[in-house]
A and B are shown apart, each in its own frame.
Chain A
Amino acid sequence: DAGVIQSPRHEVTEMGQEVTLRCKPISGHDYLFWYRQTMMRGLELLIYFNNNVPIDDSGMPEDRFSAKMPNASFSTLKIQPSEPRDSAVYFCASTPGLANAYNEQFFGPGTRLTVL
């Protein structure tokens, strides 16, 4: 398996523009997570899905952020409009969600977003 795939790997945009980050989880994994990593705030969970349904979006910073999972193999995180403070590395992760197991979250390589 290729692991979790994220695109683009780098994104540079100007303030006010819409940004869409994409993620393909590992096949067969029922849970998908979006994280944001910054020096100031560390690694933060933004939202996670189970079987394509959002379970907890309490980490989404504000209404400018939205996430969708239209099917089991694809998810997007959209920021509209983007602001310089959104600059961060955004990670997608997935896990199978097995009972009585350590549910390791497999992280993708991340998307480094820079908002000018």
Chain B
Amino acid sequence: QQQVKQSPQSLIVQKGGISIINCAYENTAFDYFPWYQQFPGKGPALLIAIRPDVSEKKEGRFTISFNKSAKQFSLHIMDSQPGDSATYFCAASLNDYKLSFGAGTTVTVRA
């Protein structure tokens, strides 16, 4: 049973466009929500993370929006670049350590 539901499974965006990935969770006790980026043949790497006491966090072109009442959070990639082409995973955790990952979204940025 997947504790974090992620959509879409894949998306294609033009260079300079905005990529939006959505995640929903059920367990209201989750208090840590990271996003990981994975390139083919590599391990995932932390991209950005948020805790539920804030509604938005921005790091460069990447923004997490968090809606605690709806139990949803999303990743926005602004001004998408071909180098952003990767698989993105949302995750949630009770204690920072036991991460439950979403199924992943493969993002393709067309030049």
Contact B97 A95 (CB under 8 A): yes
Interface size on A, residues (CB 8 A): 24
Q: Which 4 A-B pairs have the closest CB atoms?
A: A107-B43, A104-B46, A43-B101, A103-B96
Partner of B34, one of A45, A48, A102, A108: A102
A102 CB contacts on chain B under 8 angstroms: 32, 34, 46, 49, 96
Interface majority SS (helix, strand, loop, mixed), chain A: strand
Residues of A near B96 (CB, < 8 A) are: 102-103
Chain A 92-112 interface mask (CB, 8 Å, partner B; 1/0): 010101000011111111100
Q: A102-B34, A102-B49 are in contact. Are A43 and B98 (CB under 8 A)?
A: no
* B76-111 interface (Cβ within 8 A of A): 89, 96-104
